[in-house]
Amino acid sequence: MDMRDRVNAALKDAMKAKEADRLSTLRLINAAIKDKDIALRGSDSEASGVGDADVLTIMGRMVKQRQESARAYEEGGRLELAEKELAEIKIIEEFLPRQLDADETSAAVDTAIAQVGASSIRDMGKVMAALKGEYTGRMDFGKVGPMVKTKLG
């Protein structure tokens, strides 16, 4: 079952169980996927539509946005809104693969550096492309970038 089908099945289950918060978050995910579908119309990849890798990227972006919002709400003393954002993150993360821990991420970076034969900071783009190809949705590339730079520098 692909990611889109999993989200739709969860959406139907949430409707049947009358889980309003879960339903609203799943609808947001569906809307983001449909937005990406619309953006791809007219391009060469129209026939295939949004694939699982694209859905993982969308969900990863949604988690990051909610983390930033929750942090802003906490700083502003709006704890009820921060809790709502954190609850949405938990629902979205149900569909994401398990995140790599620090040791696994470091090992993945070392492997990618070896695979592409990277020797200097100029090869950082190749390393990041290899990591994104294999670990999309499983690691935070904002944190991985500096790690790659350190290992290559």
Which of 54, 71, 93 is at the close of a domain? 93
pLDDT by residue (tens digit) across 12-29? 999 999 999 999 999 999
pLDDT tens column, 78-98: 999 999 999 999 999 999 888
- Among 150, 104, 107, 148, residue whose Cα is nearest residue 128: 148
Whether residues 37 and 79 fall in one domain: yes
Q: Are residues 13 and 75 in the same domain?
A: yes
Question: The whole model's pTM is what?
Answer: 0.74
Per-residue pLDDT at 97: 85
The H or E element that residue 143 is part of is helix 141-152
Buried b (16+ CB within 10 A) or exposed e, 108-128: bbeebbeebebeeeeebeebb
Do 10 and 84 reside in the same domain of the chain? yes
Residues 106-120: tens digit of each pLDDT:
999 999 999 999 888
Which residues, at least 6 apart from 56, have a Cβ–Cβ distance to it below 8 Å?
3, 96, 97, 136, 137
pLDDT value of position 109: 92
Place of tokens 């919002």: 69
- Mean pLDDT taken over the chain: 89
Residue 107's pLDDT is what? 92
Confidence class of residue 34 from pLDDT cuts 50, 70 and 90? very high
Rounded to whole angstroms, the Cα distance separating 126 from 148 reads 11
Question: Do 134 and 84 share a domain, yes or no?
Answer: no
What percent of the chain has pLDDT above 70? 95
